[in-house]
Structure 1
């Protein structure tokens, strides 16, 4: 049992009132935090919607944009694939930690709830760190940028930078209004877009198999696909690999970003039906689905698009793939628009979850005007949390140059995540020793937990090791680490 000092300083979390506020008696018991808590919006998320919330957050812009960026950094197809496979094992270890916490503390808030429960001293430190991270780094700018780039690519337009940013901000504005005014309609739309993006990845994989097996003479009207990866391409699989510690870590952060949504459901557990059982089955199902689709999608890219073109593609690797397979009309116009819709679906899911996290932060009193920002009025939706999410996202889209913002966002989001990952992992080990009496419907394999902690330490140090082939004229290789720690 915890000592009395911990019990006294720990507030009691109870049912929310009609304004979204949580009454907080002066004293409560630590065990009150492990009880389920229901949102004022009710438990509206069934298994299918929960699966979409997870998988739609995972399969966002990552698989359609990140492989080209990773290949350019890694230097070789072999190292690139190894990073995707190794990153999946690391993600699985981190997911096991989040699952144990989520089943032990089945309530909305995710990392905020877990850190507050574990680290009660110094008082309010964990809450302040989570609030800072949620507000300053809880943005969806990267997927808005991908949406804008793929829309303009589909219409064969080379717009000025201001138009790219304007379209990205317009998407974010529309989604914020939908979630803030039409709550249930927003859930239905994001469910539809979630299944669309899963179907899109499956189409990509089947198309690549067709090209590799049948070697058609034309990928589309007047287009002949070029297969650069296959039996004849394995000899140079590792040629040009950059094995520097910093490069591998930076690439892994991008892989982690692509898997980030696996814990998305933890943020909205108050609204999930049968939260413990649903969390376990949905998280594991989404992990297996994502691993399988990501590996096949990478193989599809390498099978159809020449490696040199992939390295130069930036975030448009999926557009090049579709153009080479399906030709100018279908491949360059229609399917890139489908990728843009996929990115829009990702923005909807992230906004849906992070707005509720911001609402939890406001309810705890860590934001100014917390009474208004935590309220669900006037449309029975977290409008305050949406506004808190909207402002930093717009700033991140508008301020940096569009051609640099995507990679920088992935790195700056990923690095602080390792700090929280390390704190939560160490906290889980400490709770196993200090609080063996807590009910744990899911228990993570302890070697995986220790591996996760050691890897977090290594990844936190890695960005300060210079890459073997630094980009001339680019940002200092450790800029994102300094910015992340600074925030």
Structure 2
């Protein structure tokens, strides 16, 4: 899907000097092509960057979403097909992020790419990213999975309050660790990331063990009929639901399971050898996740009866372990390991999104931007963590825990597809407008167009009603799309008021000025200049 060019963006010898030379004007959008080192230094090696990606990708998705996907689409065959299609489309999105990340090697991810590509209307792209980062930049889903699997392991049916309390406790502890003990936080998330990888490998090997040695002793009828059965193919596709609305919401869940392949793009200022590391780490993580996801799904279907999978909610992995290893190990120890895996995901998401919030603040699009952009008081993006903490806390505590998990995934996924469409289309635009830019990684253009077409199709899908006119969380089937569009429309309205309407009535223009904070962080101030 991509080709690589050997020409580096900047030679190693010139990188440091370039950062020094351009320190007074590095906030210019045009200078996003120049690498920038964070004031807290480059602390992420190749292995740390790999864990940052793979631990973000392998989160609650593979342990929680297969049950919801099978329940929605009805059959094993269609479910597995969507995982394969989702993998291919996620790879198309990845090569887009790789071209952008190697071309514009700075922290911020999509924020940097959209600002660089869509400079008019002025400040619109930056405002939409700021609204999306604040209102949708939460990590509630994995906190919820952590809580559910922990209570399940101790055979406790929690109250709604208990579930929320444990989820909020995890979020709070991780925020404190990353804010106060940054290097320790990196070490912890690295260790938990490897635990997570071994857990999924163990799950996959358990499915192989069952089919070879215990196929007849697990359940009277597992999801997959015994190998060699004449009705296997028909059974795989039985009860398939081919509604495009249903397929699209299931694809959103697959995409969620691959979310984070571009996680390193958010923290490029802290990565050693950023361009070289980005090119290899993300592809390695994609291959790892693809193999593990396919094997894990096969393991579920080999062991757990289909009806149980459909009714499992977010506990399909717990049922799998209970079927294979019995009530002691299967219901206690291994579900606790899944809870640890969810906690690891919360750590890497919090680590990355705090940096995105910090970059948004550096651009002047958040209140108290000087404070949020600073690395004080603990030489970490402390206030970026707080910005991430607040919406996550609200999403965990305000709704009922019953159906909130799937709804969160859908609401996160829909605006994400709008931004993905803009980013993918941006690659095509820049190929035409800016052929002068160096591209150490160049995406295969058909893959970019496939990503564009898929995003358009998924954005239209919620408005094709399913048979019962309800989504997979018993709401109106297009609720998640309406909420997602509403958030982006709010961003557009906010942009219009503060960049067009207020300057018009106040007789001033908004101008950007660069300021260097006392910790060395350069920020952009938006100042009012009277119109003469």
* Same fold? TM cut 0.5: yes
Which blocks of at least 5 consecutive residues in structure 1 are unaligned? 1-13, 17-21
**For the Cα contact (< 8 Å) 1:246–1:466, is it kept in 2?**
yes
TM-superposed deviation, 1:470 = 4.5
- Structure 1 57/27 Cα, relative in aligned 2: closer, same or farther at 3 Å? closer
TM-superposed deviation, 1:74 = 0.7
TM-superposed deviation, 1:235 = 2.9
In the alignment, what sits opposite 2:479? Answer: 479
> Which of structures 1 and 2 has the bigger CA Rg?
2
In the alignment, what sits opposite 1:168? Answer: 167
TM-score for both structures, normalised by structure 1: 0.92
In the alignment, what sits opposite 1:6? Answer: none
**For the Cα contact (< 8 Å) 2:29–2:116, is it kept in 1?**
no
Distance 2:242 2:67 in 1: 17
TM-superposed deviation, 1:26 = 10
Structure 1's consecutive aligned runs of 4 or more residues displaced over 6 angstroms after TM superposition are none
**For the Cα contact (< 8 Å) 2:168–2:393, is it kept in 1?**
yes
- Structure 1 28/340 Cα, relative in aligned 2: closer, same or farther at 3 Å? closer
**For the Cα contact (< 8 Å) 1:267–1:354, is it kept in 2?**
yes
In the alignment, what sits opposite 1:275? Answer: 274
In the alignment, what sits opposite 2:392? Answer: 393
Q: Residues 359-398 of structure 1: matches in 2 within 5 Å?
A: 359-398=358-397
1:227 to 222, 225, 237: 222
- Structure 1 124/296 Cα, relative in aligned 2: closer, same or farther at 3 Å? same
Q: Residues 2-41 of structure 1: matches in 2 within 5 Å?
A: 25=25, 28=28, 30=30, 32-41=31-40
In the alignment, what sits opposite 1:259? Answer: 258
Q: Deviations over 1:117-139 (max 9, x none)?
A: 00111111000000110111010
Distance 2:457 2:216 in 1: 48
TM-superposed deviation, 1:225 = 8.0
Distance 1:142 1:201 in 2: 19
Q: Residues 59-74 of structure 1: matches in 2 within 5 Å?
A: 59-74=58-73
Number of residue pairs matched by the alignment = 464
- Structure 1 445/216 Cα, relative in aligned 2: closer, same or farther at 3 Å? closer
In the alignment, what sits opposite 1:143? Answer: 142
**For the Cα contact (< 8 Å) 1:225–1:325, is it kept in 2?**
no
- Structure 1 78/470 Cα, relative in aligned 2: closer, same or farther at 3 Å? farther
In the alignment, what sits opposite 2:524? Answer: none
Q: Deviations over 1:271-329 (max 9, x none)?
A: 00111110010000000111110011000000000000000000000000000000010
In the alignment, what sits opposite 2:106? Answer: 107
- Structure 1 218/77 Cα, relative in aligned 2: closer, same or farther at 3 Å? closer
- Structure 1 113/402 Cα, relative in aligned 2: closer, same or farther at 3 Å? same
Output the aligned Cα RMSD.
Answer: 1.8
**For the Cα contact (< 8 Å) 1:242–1:468, is it kept in 2?**
no
Distance 2:311 2:26 in 1: 59
For the pair 1:331 / 2:330, whether they are aligned, the reply is yes
In the alignment, what sits opposite 2:499? Answer: none
Where 2:237 maps in the other structure, the secondary structure is coil
Distance 2:139 2:26 in 1: 37
Distance 1:323 1:57 in 2: 26
**For the Cα contact (< 8 Å) 2:59–2:257, is it kept in 1?**
yes
In the alignment, what sits opposite 1:80? Answer: 79
For the pair 1:191 / 2:190, whether they are aligned, the reply is yes
Which blocks of at least 5 consecutive residues in structure 2 are unaligned? 1-17, 488-532
**For the Cα contact (< 8 Å) 2:309–2:316, is it kept in 1?**
yes
In the alignment, what sits opposite 1:243? Answer: 242
Distance 1:397 1:375 in 2: 28
TM-superposed deviation, 1:33 = 1.7
- Structure 1 209/389 Cα, relative in aligned 2: closer, same or farther at 3 Å? same
**For the Cα contact (< 8 Å) 2:29–2:115, is it kept in 1?**
no
Where 1:138 maps in the other structure, the secondary structure is coil
**For the Cα contact (< 8 Å) 2:19–2:34, is it kept in 1?**
no
TM-superposed deviation, 1:24 = 6.3
In the alignment, what sits opposite 1:321? Answer: 320
Where 2:44 maps in the other structure, the secondary structure is coil
In the alignment, what sits opposite 1:123? Answer: 122
TM-superposed deviation, 1:217 = 6.5
Distance 1:471 1:112 in 2: 34
Distance 2:131 2:455 in 1: 20
In the alignment, what sits opposite 2:521? Answer: none
**For the Cα contact (< 8 Å) 2:164–2:397, is it kept in 1?**
yes
In the alignment, what sits opposite 1:94? Answer: 93
Distance 2:371 2:263 in 1: 25
Where 1:261 maps in the other structure, the secondary structure is coil
TM-superposed deviation, 1:234 = 3.6
Distance 1:400 1:372 in 2: 31
TM-superposed deviation, 1:159 = 1.3
Where 2:403 maps in the other structure, the secondary structure is helix
Task: Looking at secondary structure, tell me which structure has more strand per residue.
Answer: 2
**For the Cα contact (< 8 Å) 1:151–1:336, is it kept in 2?**
yes
In the alignment, what sits opposite 1:11? Answer: none
For the pair 1:159 / 2:154, whether they are aligned, the reply is no
Distance 1:225 1:181 in 2: 52
